[in-house]
A and B are shown apart, each in its own frame.
Chain A
Amino acid sequence: MKPIEIKENIYWVGGIDWDLRNFHGYLTHRGSTYNAYLIVDEKITLIDTVKHYHFDEMMERIAAVINPGKIDYIVSNHVEMDHSGGLPALMEKIGSRATIFTSPNGEKGLLAHYRRKWNFKVVQSGDILSLGKRSLHFVLTPMVHWPDNMVTYLPEDRILFSNDAFGQHLASSERFDDEYPFSIILEEATKYYANIVLPYSKQVNKTLEAVSAFALDVIAPSHGIVWRSSVKQILAQYQKWAKNETEPKALIIYDSMWGSTEKIAYAIAKGFENKGIKVSLVNLQFNHISDIMTMVLTTKYICVGSPTLNNNMLPTVAAFLIYLKGLAPINRVGIAFGSYGWGGQSIGLIEDILKSCNWQVWEQIKNQYLPTDDFLKTTTEKIERLLTN
């Protein structure tokens, strides 16, 4: 387990989680990494740690550079246990002399997690810590994506240690954006934003503004690949995502019992197609909500369909809608649709949730029992008409 030099005397010393496939309900098809960084200067500094079960791996990488007992400073940019989980074992191993620099909420959070009174030094935005030849500048970034989050900038090497911002769940031996297929990195960065960062887009704008003052050669996030050749590109992507900018595409997300809601889904798709709008049909039986969110991030038209079961919508659709609502995308157009036998409550319930997202919601499409060819034709024409107006 070797360290990887990011810049002279600055090393990636993280852990690679090749087996991770589910990160609190977010499917991580390509695993992940927990990135810790070691800065060797007059004061030896470690930025963040790793998930607890990667502790030995991190220590092996650190030990290949220096004796870990020589670590003077630890910067904890984020309390969440995939980044702080290595702290208890680290503090035990190196003794309590190291100082932990963290935000006010970071100190509270670390105390609440580990119940140990380590040598904390609380920092505020604008505080500067000298390491010798280098310095660290702290910027608090509350709610990107927890109250305690902060980022750390190293001006002498023009590196931003951005923690979860700009991260991707992607396990690889390659450490840099120019060593790995860019489309995959971008796909994973998109999924990460959609599933983790999206609700805090307002705060992301502030972070981007604060970061724009920094000259950047490298963005070193706490998950996945390090950005050095595509720094401008990922910043531009974040600008776009934080503004909830979408493309004129349509997603038709549904589940079906006897195929009727599915028929309506395809009739809706035809309407979009006829108007030259690209459509994806997303059956909730075969697609995971975290993958669907990746698509939602850049899509303007979101149609959600469910038949009525027990006076309600299908549980798959309910799960998706609860997840969607929490992630709070805005500036979308929504349509609720579905087939039913009696009652037919599902369509109205879906519509209520779409409205509660503050979207523009178009008239619902609802059919009792099996849709006739005429109904399907009318549905297609209705979509065409709505798109024309």
Chain B
Amino acid sequence: MQKYVCTACGYVYDPAVGDPDSGIAPGTPFSDLPDDWVCPVCGVGKEDFEVQK
């Protein structure tokens, strides 16, 4: 599954890992993250992420 990188702080969202601290189970694709999910490192929204090249 596609990884996404936070353009503000560089955090990488890896669907295989998810974001358990924010209640996101491993295996959740980026597109299925809720709209109010924010970067667990810096707090910016989903719209500030882009596909990791």
Residues of A within 8 A of B (CB): 103-105, 140, 142-143, 147, 200, 202-203
Is B52 located at the chain interface by the 8 A CB criterion? no
Q: Which residues on B sit within 8 Å (CB–CB) of A202?
A: 7-8, 48
Contact B8 A105 (CB under 8 A): no
Complex interface: chain A residues within 8 A of B48 (CB) = 202-203
Chain A residue with Cβ nearest B7: A202
Output the residue of A105, A142, A200, A203 with the most chain B CB within 10 A: A142
Shortest Cβ distance from residue A124 to the other chain B in the assembled complex, whole angstroms:
11
A-B CB pair tally, cutoff 8 Å:
27
Given contacts A142-B38, A142-B42, A147-B42, could you give 15 more A-B pairs where the C-beta distance is less than 8 Å? A104-B43, A105-B42, A105-B43, A142-B8, A142-B43, A142-B44, A143-B42, A147-B9, A147-B41, A200-B8, A202-B7, A202-B8, A202-B48, A203-B44, A203-B48
Interface band, chain B: 10 to 19
Closest to A104 in B: B43
Closest residue on chain B to residue A145 by CB atoms: B8
Most B CB within 10 A of own CB, among A105, A147, A202: A147
Tell which of A103, A104, A140, A143 touches B9, judged by Cβ atoms closer than 8 Å. Answer: A143
- Nearest-Cβ distance from residue A229 to partner chain B, whole angstroms: 33
Distance of A202 Cα from B43 Cα, bound (Å)? 13
Give bound CA distance, A169 to B42, whole Å.
25
* Nearest CB in chain B to that of A105: its residue: B43
CB-CB under 8 A from A143, the residues of chain B are: 8-9, 42-44
Which of chain A's residues have a CB closer than 8 A to the CB of B8? 142-143, 200, 202-203
